[in-house]
Amino acid sequence: MGSSDHQCSEAADALVCGIHLFNQGEFWHAHEQWEICWRAAQGMDADFYQALIQSAAALVKWRQGNLRGLRLNWAKAQRRLSRLPSFYRGIDLARLQTAMTALVNDPELASAPVLDLPPAQ
């Protein structure tokens, strides 16, 4: 099953779908799913989705070997994450920050961050 088979229409489904894609290393497709959520979001939710989108974009750049793009996108994501609690919508954002910061500091790391699925509603 290819990544193009991952289509979600509901915003909540798009969050979970994006997490699955992100954890499979399909950062661009995760980014696309989270954009669905972001377009419908306001306030802290908007910051949350934008931070996920920018984290995924940073990882796309990392995969491309574009370290400047990695750092720039991660810096944007961090600004948004700093306005959010450590856990938001069931996702451990502190762990994401720790893993991404380690990756930015050592881009030769072999593994990308993994996100926990939020608890079922």
Question: What mean pLDDT is predicted for residues 6-29?
Answer: 82
Q: Which two tokens stand for residue 14?
A: 């798009």
What is the reported pTM? 0.88
Domains and CATH numbers, the chain: 10-105 (1.10.3450.10)
- The answer to whether the beta carbons of residues 21 and 30 sit under 8 Å apart is yes
Whether 102 and 68 have beta carbons less than 8 Å apart is answered as no
pLDDT digit string, tens, across residues 86-104? 999 999 999 999 999 999 9
| pLDDT (0 to 100) of residue 120 | 62
Q: What integer is the mean pLDDT of 32-38?
A: 95
